[in-house]
Structure 1
């Protein structure tokens, strides 16, 4: 929380500042700066969803008081990534495993190693080390489960997906491991609905739904201070996939609107030909980039005990913080005294 650099902390901007620098805005345009039109997001035939009554037509901008200090704004990018240590395969249990190398159960459930892993079979496994009852349908389903899940790590899955996409585009027959979207049925039950204990349970969660969070807040309490003290926006990449007919998302959660309603999210730059362009002020994908960095440690973390996992993740976050700060210092992106002088400046336009 003590971090600050010129990538996440900017001088406060007003629409008049950007206009003075040559920017032009269309009040009726709610697209995103620097983003090409998204033809897939036209939402033909989808009725517009009005914003809740507690929100105005658009976010209100605080006017600049003559003679006041300029001030500054910060953007914190949030995203969820659930990458915990593995837990017991029994659905009602979240205890740590006895064996993190290839185990499936916590200490209290070790007796289930001798019971068929397909629920609710309940019969004994067919031999030591086996995980199913001596039934060909159970054994066959387990083999197909292993074929889908056991041979590929998360980075491996990503490589296979890219290779399959390239082969499909070039009409080349697939070789090597492949991915299938569904597991087969078992005794009339869809493969995706089979309950089993073949693997300790990992979970992953990515949250990029700020517009629905804002809708919930304003619906529960239209006078909530969150609505005015903090602006909830959707990151640029996920915003493209949201419905264009959602007025609240398009107007209140736009990550860099071209209509000038959020000047703090816009910068003005001049290219080599002397032409003026509006660009996004912040990198809204920084949380996704952190998640990608964490993915490189997933295989090791998944084999750790709960105690070693907690310690390792703490150290990883500490190292990442130091890495970011060193990078900012090397690129002269730290908040030097010159920046704070501009924050306190009463000049009409930023220097």
Structure 2
């Protein structure tokens, strides 16, 4: 709608106006024509003529990739800010290269089925709660584990007066919430200390609800609204160029993180980076060591904590301090700490890679969070593919402007 308003404001013809639906179709068709060749899928794509917007978006999404994706050509990407000549101790042969990637998770979540264990998209994205496979749950009371039938069609509870009263109080509490309003409440709670970093992963809305019998209000399990994915997982080269993305459906546990990076490099084992930077890198490293000592990640890649989060890691964690230090000063990781000479001829140590590019990408993606929360699963995937492509082009322009491409001699 903003694009339609912008086009209409810039044209002088007051009799011809671009409608919101026309602007949406223009967006879908334009970026479909850019996404398909960018991912090398133009030859295999087919769609009926004059297809509806939803059909076209779904066709493109299914061809490019569903619920995640890898940027085309990203494994061949290289630049002076993400790929260096490998450093060796004196006497060793100086061959090869060292590359770094950074992983992160912005808060741009996608809506999904209300069942915790289900990852299916909603059958009705306007006001639905369940996926197509679990629509029969609409006939059951939304209070878990009641299990009784709803008192009339489209009701959310059974005829239990306590359930009806609790649902009414719940609706009264959440009916007036808006995205900007939630953000204001979160900022206020953070300022008053109601929401500390030690209690939750990040800022979250703390709501006071009445008890249901002996169950505290916040502990009542219900299915009055759809759930959302936990976060959007991203990984990019240390220069910022995106590699891939995926959806984290539940809490960000170590097996899910490893499954994501394994999926990204499943078809490109020879392109595994020398370093993977992650805010809790010691956790996947510890998991690999204890679960599968023969995992190829142990021989191909070092897991490093980014510089910002490393400050908060425990000094008593020997594995983290000896294996995940982003800038060791004992010379054990010459590929992470380089010696540079400034314009005055004074040598000094500098980090080889920017370990905060994930935070920079996340900050950019969070600017689109409000729009993403209102989308169907198809539009969400399509939009994320577009954003990743645009951000990659943005990074490439910045690299070219600073002449940071790899030389022909590399």
Distance 1:122 1:217, change over 3 A: closer
Aligned to 1:189: 215
Distance 1:115 1:221, change over 3 A: closer
Aligned to 1:29: none
Paired residue secondary structure (1:259)? coil
Q: Which shows bigger deviation, 100-109 or 117-126?
A: 117-126
TM-superposed deviation, 1:92: 5.0
Aligned to 2:307: 236
Bigger Rg over Cα: 1
Distance 1:334 1:183, change over 3 A: farther
Q: Which shows bigger deviation, 4-13 or 219-228?
A: 219-228
Q: Is 1:293 aligned to 2:352, yes or no?
A: no
TM-superposed deviation, 1:215: 2.3
**C-alpha deviations, 1:184-239, integer Å up to 9, x for none?**
43221233432211111112155543213222333345565533321111122222
Alignment gaps of 5+ in structure 1: 14-61, 170-177, 344-351
Following the alignment from structure 1 to structure 2, what is the Cα–Cα distance between the partners of residues 91 and 209? 24
**C-alpha deviations, 1:90-126, integer Å up to 9, x for none?**
4454433222122212345445445431123345556
Across the aligned residues of Structure 1 and Structure 2, the Cα RMSD in angstroms comes to: 3.6
Paired residue secondary structure (2:316)? coil
Spell out the pairing of 1:63-78 with structure 2 (5 A cutoff): 63-65=89-91, 68-69=93-94, 71-78=96-103
TM-superposed deviation, 1:246: 0.8
Aligned to 2:49: none
Task: Answer yes or no: is the 8 Å Cα contact 2:125–2:375 preserved in 1.
Answer: yes
What is the aligned length?
281
Would you tell me which structure has more strand in proportion to its own residues?
Answer: 2
Following the alignment from structure 1 to structure 2, what is the Cα–Cα distance between the partners of residues 157 and 274? 53
Following the alignment from structure 1 to structure 2, what is the Cα–Cα distance between the partners of residues 120 and 204? 23
TM-superposed deviation, 1:247: 0.6
TM-superposed deviation, 1:253: 0.7
Aligned to 2:40: none
Paired residue secondary structure (2:146)? coil
Paired residue secondary structure (2:338)? strand
Aligned to 2:131: 106
Task: Answer yes or no: is the 8 Å Cα contact 1:77–1:286 preserved in 2.
Answer: yes
Q: Is 1:201 aligned to 2:275, yes or no?
A: no
Spell out the pairing of 1:68-147 with structure 2 (5 A cutoff): 68-69=93-94, 71-80=96-105, 85-91=110-116, 93-123=118-148, 125=150, 130-133=155-158, 137-142=162-167, 145-146=170-171, 147=173
Following the alignment from structure 2 to structure 1, what is the Cα–Cα distance between the partners of residues 206 and 174? 7
TM-superposed deviation, 1:74: 0.7
Aligned to 1:2: 76
Task: Answer yes or no: is the 8 Å Cα contact 1:12–1:264 preserved in 2.
Answer: yes
TM-superposed deviation, 1:331: 2.3
Task: Answer yes or no: is the 8 Å Cα contact 2:107–2:366 preserved in 1.
Answer: no
Task: Answer yes or no: is the 8 Å Cα contact 1:236–1:285 preserved in 2.
Answer: yes
